[in-house]
Amino acid sequence: MATRRKISSKSAPSSPPVSVITGAAGFLGSHLTDLLLAKGHKVVGIDNLVTGSVANIEHLAGNPNFRFIQQDVTEFLFFDGPVNYVWHFASPASPVDYALLPIQTLKVGSLGTHKALGLAKEKGARFLLTSTSEVYGDPLVHPQTEDYWGNVNTIGPRGCYDESKRFAEAITMAYHRQHKLETRIVRIFNTYGPRMRLKDGRVVPAFVSQALRNEPITVFGAGKQTRSFCYCSDLIEGIYRLMMSDYPLPVNIGNPREMTMLEFAREIIAATGSKSKITFKPLPVDDPKQRKPDITLARKLLGWEPQVELADGLARTIEYFRRKI
């Protein structure tokens, strides 16, 4: 049986809002933690540190409004005191991670989402699910709008991540409809910034680390597949606005500026002043050929759109990685 743990809180109903963040030591979870603390929330961060890192939250040591619990979100959680918001960020989120951890990826998307929803239901809290553009699979519609159902290979090597998020969306909507739970769903498109792991397999840390070492930059296929990159502070602001909105259906949050991987590799070489050359390798199985969010809904509903230009975001990200290499 899973270990049962209590997280006590002395907060009164009139005190600052209490937020629980799963995956709080991850790349995006840690940035959300910073934003909520800055906005006056008390934050309880939960992470099993499988892909998260204490280094991402070590600057919060001693902060009386932050508490960290090392625990797997698929275990039961019991809280004393109120909880106002549950932000479910926990999940492996890169091809390297879910290739190594396919079962854990499926479990956090299913059992973990179930546990997080149960906590929100028990406390009468509002719940936000971080879903992904990967629910669209290798899309046949471009750009991707929220009403597109996707083109996903359920049994392919990426299926564990894609389907865990599709299931998570389904159970979130089931709780919304059956239990009248206040729920929000964000579909995150490619995001980058400080606190990404050097070897997490995603394109930004891969290209930047190769460029900083003057190693060949690995582009898959002919490099014609496209992505769009949103800086982390823009994304977190959009997610915060979504949680505070009254909209229960999925919303795309991402940057609609689309570029090919070959263009992006050249952008990284220029930004780092690298001597790297570009090399080509076969395209991975089920790698999406196009990825670009339609953010019409986010603009209309949340008054949100990206503010950080790619050159500025890359400069901040590259500086972070220079200190890590």
> Is the pTM here over 0.75, yes or no?
yes
> pLDDT grade, residue 199 (50/70/90)?
confident
> In the prediction, which pLDDT does 98 show?
87
Domain residues for the domain of 69 are 13-193+230-255+292-307
Query: Does the residue 315 lie in any domain?
Result: no
Query: Does the residue 88 lie in any domain?
Result: yes
> In the prediction, which pLDDT does 95 show?
86
Query: Does the residue 237 lie in any domain?
Result: yes
Q: Could you list the active site residues?
A: 161
CATH number at residue 239: 3.40.50.720
Number of domains observed in the structure of the chain: 1
Query: Does the residue 242 lie in any domain?
Result: yes
Structure-token pair, residue 249 = 């259906």
Give the pLDDT mean for 205-225: 94
pLDDT in tens, 264-298: 999 999 999 999 999 999 988 877 888 999 999 99
Query: Does the residue 25 lie in any domain?
Result: yes
pLDDT in tens, 128-172: 999 999 999 999 999 999 999 999 999 999 999 999 999 999 999
> In the prediction, which pLDDT does 14 show?
58
